[in-house]
Structure 1
Amino acid sequence: LTRRAAVISTFVLMMSPQFFQLSRQVMVDLPFVALSAIALLCLAVYFVGEIDENERIWKIPRRNFYLYLFYFFEGWAFLAKGLLSVAIPGAALFIFMLLTRNFKYAFAWKHFKHHLVGFFIYLAVIMPWLGYMWYSEGYSFIKTFIWFHHFRRAAGTIHKPNDLFTLYIRVIGYAMFPWSAFLPVAIYHFLAGKKEWFSNHKNILIFSMAVGPFFFLSFSGTKFFHYVAPIIPILAIIVGVYIDSIWKEKWSSSSKFGIVIAIVFVAVIGRDIGNQYGLWHHIVTFWHGRKLPGIGSWLPVIITMSIIFSLILFSMIFSRFMRKKGFFAFFTTMAGLMTYYFVVCMPQISTIYSLKPLIDKYIEISPERAPIADYYKWLRKSASFQLRNEITFLKTDKEDSVLRFFDKPGEQFVIMRPGDIKRFNSLMKRINKKAVEIERTSRDRLFRVTGPGRKRDMSLSKPYRPSSVPSNVVSVGAVFDEVAELAGYVIKSKNVEVRDGKNWVKEGTTVNVDLYFKALENKIPRDYDVFLHCEGNNRDKRTKGDDHMAAGTYPTNFWKKGDIVRHPMRIRIPRNTKNDYYSAWVGIYNEEYRAGISNPDDVIHDGDNRIEMIRLYLDK
C-alpha cells in the first residue's frame, strides 16, 4: 500500500459513476459513505498499522487514538444513516476475525477495554440528538426510527424493492465502470499468490471491509441500488493497489492475461450501459420505473468510449511506452465521459426526477407569486428549496388543512400526482373552487385553482376586531415575516397574582390571555395559526395549545393593513411539577412552516422563531 496507490485509488473513486453522481446531489448517503470510509480506515490503522507503540497524541497512545477516531466518525455516521454505522463496520470486523481465526480483536481485554472507551465516545456523539428526539417525541420516535426504518426495512416487511442476493454484483459493475473491469483480477492479485495469506492481516482487513458489508446488504430484505455505496471506496482501494502494481514497463504473462480479462469486462458491462443509459442514473435513485427522455448521442458515445478503453488496454499488452502512459490516457478518457454525462445527460434526466419544470412554469405565469401548495403524502424539500420556502406542504390525508388553504377568493396553485387529482377535485367542489391543469411532467402536474370559495360570515369576527389595542396591554412588539406584529397581551384571569414584578400562579390552573396582533400588510399570503408551548425551567411536564387565528373567524388572508385582531389563548399549568416557573413561548405558523421573527434583537426568543411572551412563577 504505497502513496501512489492511495492517489490512484482516489482518482478511481472520483471517476466511478456512482460516487461521481452522489457527490453532486443532496443525499445523506454521501456523508455516511465518507464518514464510514474514514472510520473503517482508522480501524485498519489500529489493528494492522505500523505504529511505534511509544508514540502518543495528547498523552494517548497513537494506536488507541485511531480506534477512538473510528468510534467518533461512526458516531457522526449514525446521525446520517442510523444503525448502519454499527452494521457496516460490525460485518467487516466479523468477517476479518473469521478469516484470521482470531476473535481476540474484539474480545481480548487489551482490545475490549479500548472498545469500551470508544463506545462511550460513540454515545457522546449521537446522544445529544438522539436523546433530544427521544425526549421530545417519545417512544413513537424510537419505534419509527429504530424498528420501522431499520429492522423492518432489513427484514423486507415494508413496501420497498427487493431482488436476488446477486443484485449488487451487477450494480457494482455499473457503479464503478470501467474500473469494475479490473475488479476480478484486482481481488485475485490482492489476496492470492502469497503463502502467508492468512498471516497478511492488512490485506485481509481491507478485503473484509468490502466483503462483510456486501453480504450484509445482499441478504437485506430491502435493496436500493445506491445502498452499495459504502463498499465502493474500499473496492477503489483494491483496484488502486492493483493498478499501482502493474504501472511499470515490464509485465509478466499473468499481468497481460489480467488485462485481457479486463477488456472482456469492459465490453460486457459497456454493452449493458450502452443499451440502457438509465442504469447509471438508477444507481443513485430510489425508483426506476420512470420513462427517461431519449438521448441520441448516448449509444455512440458509450460505444466509442468502450472501444477507446479497450484499445488503451490492448496496446498496453504490447507497448512499454503505453504501460507507462496508458493509465494517464485511461483516466483522462474517463474524466471526459463523466463530464459528458454530467453536462449532456443529467440536465435532461433531471426534468423527469425534478419538480423544477413545474416551479419554472409557476414563476412564469404568476410573477406576483400567488399562494402555491404541494399536495402529497410527504414533504418534498426540493419544492421548498426552489421557492425559498414560499410553498405550503399539504398532506393528502389532512382534508381540513387543504380546505383552509384554498378556501379564499382569488387564485392559488397546487402541485400533485395524477393519483391524487380525483380526491383533490372532490375537495374543491365543497368550497366552490375549480382546478385547471397548467403544466405536467411524467410524474407530477401543476394546477391553477380559481373560484370564490365558500361564503364567509365576517360578522362573526367582530368581537375579535377591536378598533385599537387596549390601554392595559403588556407590550411585546414581535414582528413575524414582516406582515404581522404581536403588539402585546392582556391577562384576563384573576388567578394571577403580581408580586415583586413577577406573575405568580398556582399549579393546575388555567390562565386566560388575550393576544393582540396588528396587520402590517394587505392580503397576507399565508393563513397563519397561533401556537403556544408552555415549558418549565426544569424541563418537566409541558403543555401545548395551537389555535386558529381569532378562533377561526378572521383568517390572516383577509386582514387589511392596520387591522387589530384579538386572539384568545389559554395557558394550562400542570400539577405536581418539578419546575419553578413556566414560560409561554408563542409564534405563528402555517402547516409545516413557522413564521420568522423579523426583529429578533427587540424581543426575547429562543432562536427557533418562538418568543417568550410571559413567564409564570409557581406559588407552591
Structure 2
Amino acid sequence: MPAASSLPWWQRPRFWAVVLALVVVAINLASMASTGAWDPWETHYGEVARNILVRHDPLDLWWQAGNGGPDAVAEKTFWSKPALPFWLMALSMKIFGVGTSGPPDELVQPFWPEFAIRLPSMLAGLGSAALLGYVAWRQVSPRAGILTAAVLVTMPQFAVATRQALTDMIFVGPVVLAAAAWILAWGQPDRPLRRRGQGARSLPWDRAYLAFAIVFAAAVVAPLAVIHQHAYDPYTWATVGKNPGHAASLRQIQSHMFIYWGLVVLVLGLSLRWTRRSQVWMGVLYIAAGLSLLGKGLIGPGLVGAVVLVHLVVTGRWDLLRRCGLPTGIVLFALASFPWHHAMVLFRGERWVNELIIQNNLARFDTGEQKQAVGSFAFYLETLGLAALPWSAVVPLVLAAAFGIGRKASAPAEATSEASEAGEAGEAEAPASASTEASEATSPAGEAGEAGEAEAPDFQDFSLAPTPEAARRVLHQFALIWFSVALFAIGYSVTKYYHYLIPVLPPLALLVGLWIDQRMSGPRTHVGPRLIGVAVGLAVLVAVVRDTFHSTAWLAHLTTYLYTGMWRTGGPEVSALPWLVLPFGLGLLAWALGRHRAALAGFVLSGLLTTGWAVDDYLPAASENWSQRSALRLYFAERGPRDRLVSWWFYYRGETWFSKQDVWVMKDVDRKALTELFDQVEGQDTTLWFITIEPHARRLAAQVPQRYRGDIEEVYKSFHYTLLRVHVP
C-alpha cells in the first residue's frame, strides 16, 4: 500500500476524515433552528442550567416550576442528577448570552437557545466518535479509524442523543475516554516518556503528558476552583449565607476544599515523576472515570471498572494491576468526582444523599422506576435494530467474527503474560530495539520521531500488544468485552429505558469498523457464509423498517421516557426510510459478490442518508409534538401586557423553560384555586392563556367559572399540546 503522502490529496485518509467531520457537523447544525427543546428532559435540564446563572450558584442545583399557582414552588431543588451536564450547559449559555437577559420571549426564538444547551452533548458525542476513530486509526489503520467514527455518528440513536441536551452523552463521553486511555496504555507497545532536563530536575516533555495535563486542568482544577470560590463569593453570602445553617455549611466547604488542593499538589508532583507513557494514559483513565460519575452517577465508573476487570480476566494479565498506578489513580478519581459531592453532603446532608444515590442510582438498577420502564433482555435487542440502523444489518456477522478473533487473541495474551513475568524475574529481557520498532510500527506518522527516541537500556515493555498484529487483536477483543459488559449491565438493570442503550453503541461501532476494515484487506470468505450473512442482514433491515412503520414514534422514544398513552401518537411519517436503507441492502448484495468497495460505498451512503433524515427531517417534524416552542411562540406573539400563562393540569417542564419561570402552575385539577385566579384578574382587561395536553383541554370548560365557559378559544393544537385562551374583561 503506498504511503499516504504519495497519494493524490483526494485519496488521503486525512482528507476523508475531514470530509466526514464537515458532513456530520453540517447535518447537526442544519435543523438546529427548526427543532425546539423537547419535553421533558431538554427543557427540564436547560432550566436547571439557566438557574445556575440566574442564582449565581454552581453548587446547589435548582428547579422551580413557576412564579404563581398552587404548584409553583412544589419543587425547589434538583437532586436527581450530578452537576457536570448542567455546568457545561450553563457555561455554554453564558458564552452565547442565552437565558439570563434579553426579552421575555428569548427562549422561543430559534437557534441560539437550542444551540447553547445542546452544544455540550454535541461536543461529547462527536468528540467520542473522533476519539474512538483515532484509537482505531492508531492501532489498526486509517481506514479502520474513519469507518469506526462514521459508523458511530450515523447510528440514529447516537446521532439524535448527540443533538439533544441530555445527560447521557456527558457520561458516555468520559466512558469512551476511559476505554481509549486503557487501550492507549496497554494495547500498544509502551515506551519511556520524553523528558527535558537531567536527573531529578527533568520534567515530562511529551504529547501524551500534555494530553493528561489538559484533562487534569479542565476536569480537576477548574471545577474545584469554581466550587471553592463559590463558598467565598460575597453574592453567595448575601443570599444563601443569611441562613445560619447554610452559613455554617459554607464555612465547612471553605475549609474542606483545601484537602483537595493538597491532593492536587501531591498528585501533580507524583505525575512529574512518571517515566512511562502507560502511566500517563492510566492517569487519564482515572480522571475520565471520575468525570463519568459526575456526569450521570454510579453507572459510569461501574462500567469502566467492570470492562477493565473483565479484560484482565480474559487476558490473564493480573500483573497490570501492579503497574496501573492504582494508589495515584484513586486520588485522581476522587479529585475529579468528590469535591462537588463532598460539598453537597455538607450543604444539604442526608436527604440529598438519599435522593441522588439511593433513589436515582441504586433503586433504578435494583427495583425499577416506572411500570413502562421494565422489560426483559430482549427489550434492548429489539431496540438495537433501530438504534444502530442501518448498521444493525451486519451486527450478527460482526459479532460472529469478533468472537472468533477473541478466541485467537487469548493465546498471544498468555504468551505476553509469560514473557512479562519472566522479564520481571530477571530471566528474560526484551531488547530495547524491539520495543522501539513495535512502537514505530503502531504509531501515526506524526509520532514516528517521538517513538524513535533512544530508550533506556533497561526499559521493558509490559503491554498486551508487542506487535502491530497483536494490537489489532487486542483492540478487537477489548471492543467485544466492552460491548458485552455494557449490554449485560443495562440488561441486568430492572429499569429499562430505550436511551440506556446508548453506552453500548460506541463499542459496537468499533467492532463494525474493525470488521469492515479486516474484510476489505483480508482474504475473501467462502460464498456460502457470505450468502447466509447477506440474507440475515436483509431480513434485519426489512424487520426494522416494518416495525418503524407500525410505530412511527419509535425513533422519538429512543431519547425520551414517555412511551404510553398519547405519546404513542405524533410520530412523523417514515415513508422515506425504505429508500434510505436501500443502498445498504444493495451494498450487502455487492458484498456477497465480493465487490467490497461498492459495498462500502453503499453502507456509508445509507448511514449518512439515514442520519441526515433522522436529524434534519424527523426531529423537526416530531418537535411539533414533543416541544412546546410553537405553542408558546404564539403566546408571546399575541399576548397583551397583562396576560398570564397558565400551566393547567400539566407539568412537562417546557412551560417553565420557554417562559423563564413566568407561569402560573397547577399540576392537578383544583377548581377552587382556578376560580381564585379568575377573581384576581377580573377588571384588568387581561387574557389567561392555558397550556395543557390535548385530553385535558376538552375538560377545561367544566373547571372555569360558568360565565367564561363560552369564551374559551383554542389557538394551537398538536398531538400532545393544546393552547387555549380566555379573555377576562
- Band the TM-score falls in, shorter-chain normalisation: 0.5 to 0.7
Q: Which residue of 1 aligns with 2:382?
A: 170
Output the CA distance in 1 between the equivalents of 2:718 and 2:177.
Answer: 40
Q: Which residue of 2 aligns with 1:125?
A: 336
Matched position secondary structure for 1:415: strand
Q: Which moved more, 1:40-49 or 1:12-21?
A: 40-49
Q: Within the alignment, does 1:273 sit opposite 2:548 as a pair?
A: yes
Q: Which has the higher strand share?
A: 1
Q: Which has the higher helix share?
A: 2
Matched position secondary structure for 1:446: strand
Report the TM-score when normalising by structure 2.
Answer: 0.55
Letter in 1 for 2:399: I
Match of 1:179 among 391, 396, 411: 391
Indicate how the Cα distance of structure 1 residues 351 and 377 shifts in structure 2: closer, same or farther if over 3 A, else same.
Answer: closer
Indicate how the Cα distance of structure 1 residues 434 and 66 shifts in structure 2: closer, same or farther if over 3 A, else same.
Answer: farther
Q: Within the alignment, does 1:441 sit opposite 2:654 as a pair?
A: no
Q: Within the alignment, does 1:363 sit opposite 2:502 as a pair?
A: no
Letter in 2 for 1:71: Y
Q: Which residue of 2 aligns with 1:256?
A: 530
Output the CA distance in 1 between the equivalents of 2:158 and 2:477.
Answer: 24
Identical columns (%): 18
Match of 2:558 among 283, 298, 313: 283
The Cα of 1:226 is off from its aligned counterpart by: 0.7
Aligned ranges for residues 333-412 of structure 1 at < 5 Å? 333-366=606-639, 368=641, 370-375=643-648, 380=653, 382-387=654-659, 389=660, 391-392=662-663, 394=665, 396=667, 407-409=680-682, 410-412=686-688
Q: Which residue of 2 aligns with 1:99?
A: 314
The Cα of 1:324 is off from its aligned counterpart by: 2.2
Indicate how the Cα distance of structure 1 residues 5 and 404 shifts in structure 2: closer, same or farther if over 3 A, else same.
Answer: farther
Structure number with larger C-alpha Rg: 1
Q: Which residue of 2 aligns with 1:561?
A: none
Cα RMSD (Å) of the superposition? 3.4
Indicate how the Cα distance of structure 1 residues 431 and 122 shifts in structure 2: closer, same or farther if over 3 A, else same.
Answer: farther
Output the CA distance in 2 between the equivalents of 1:307 and 1:66.
Answer: 42
Whether the aligned pair in 2 keeps the contact of 1:214 and 1:231 (CA below 8 Å) is: yes
Whether the aligned pair in 1 keeps the contact of 2:583 and 2:602 (CA below 8 Å) is: no
Indicate how the Cα distance of structure 1 residues 293 and 444 shifts in structure 2: closer, same or farther if over 3 A, else same.
Answer: closer
Indicate how the Cα distance of structure 1 residues 153 and 429 shifts in structure 2: closer, same or farther if over 3 A, else same.
Answer: farther
List alignment gaps of at least 5 residues for structure 2: 1-139, 195-203, 210-271, 414-472
Whether the aligned pair in 2 keeps the contact of 1:394 and 1:402 (CA below 8 Å) is: no
Q: Which moved more, 1:265-274 or 1:68-77?
A: 265-274
Deviations 1:502-554 (A, max 9, x none): xxxxxxxxxxxxxxxxxxxxxxxxxxxxxxxxxxxxxxxxxxxxxxxxxxxxx
The Cα of 1:248 is off from its aligned counterpart by: 4.5
Deviations 1:36-64 (A, max 9, x none): 21122112323433221455535423211
Matched position secondary structure for 2:389: coil
Q: Which residue of 2 aligns with 1:206?
A: 479
Aligned ranges for residues 525-544 of structure 1 at < 5 Å? none
Indicate how the Cα distance of structure 1 residues 195 and 22 shifts in structure 2: closer, same or farther if over 3 A, else same.
Answer: closer
Aligned ranges for residues 16-95 of structure 1 at < 5 Å? 16-53=155-192, 57=209, 58-60=272-274, 61-95=276-310
Whether the aligned pair in 2 keeps the contact of 1:274 and 1:303 (CA below 8 Å) is: no
Deviations 1:274-308 (A, max 9, x none): 44333222222212222434755x33x33333443
Output the CA distance in 2 between the equivalents of 1:340 and 1:51.
Answer: 44
Match of 2:513 among 228, 240, 244: 240
Q: Within the alignment, does 1:331 sit opposite 2:601 as a pair?
A: no
The Cα of 1:210 is off from its aligned counterpart by: 1.2
How many corresponding residue pairs?
Answer: 442
Q: Within the alignment, does 1:413 sit opposite 2:689 as a pair?
A: yes
Q: Which residue of 1 aligns with 2:212?
A: none
Indicate how the Cα distance of structure 1 residues 43 and 164 shifts in structure 2: closer, same or farther if over 3 A, else same.
Answer: same
Q: Which moved more, 1:11-20 or 1:91-100?
A: 91-100
Deviations 1:442-498 (A, max 9, x none): 33333435547xxxxxxxxxxxxxxxxxxxxxxxxxxxxxxxxxxxxxxxxxxxxxx
Output the CA distance in 1 between the equivalents of 2:676 and 2:342.
Answer: 36
Output the CA distance in 2 between the equivalents of 1:185 and 1:376.
Answer: 50
Letter in 2 for 1:134: V
Output the CA distance in 1 between the equivalents of 2:600 and 2:545.
Answer: 18
List alignment gaps of at least 5 residues for structure 1: 453-620
Whether the aligned pair in 2 keeps the contact of 1:249 and 1:324 (CA below 8 Å) is: no
Deviations 1:154-200 (A, max 9, x none): 12343251101221111112111111111222122223155443526
Matched position secondary structure for 2:147: helix
Letter in 2 for 1:75: G
Whether the aligned pair in 2 keeps the contact of 1:156 and 1:162 (CA below 8 Å) is: no
Whether the aligned pair in 1 keeps the contact of 2:650 and 2:692 (CA below 8 Å) is: no
Letter in 1 for 2:690: V
Indicate how the Cα distance of structure 1 residues 141 and 207 shifts in structure 2: closer, same or farther if over 3 A, else same.
Answer: same
Deviations 1:230-278 (A, max 9, x none): 1101110000001111224962317734445433433333333344333
Whether the aligned pair in 2 keeps the contact of 1:28 and 1:81 (CA below 8 Å) is: yes
Letter in 2 for 1:162: V
Output the CA distance in 2 between the equivalents of 1:419 and 1:293.
Answer: 14
Letter in 1 for 2:537: A
Larger relative CO (CA 8 A, sep 6+): 1 or 2?
2
The Cα of 1:346 is off from its aligned counterpart by: 2.3
Match of 2:589 among 290, 295, 314: 314
Matched position secondary structure for 1:247: helix
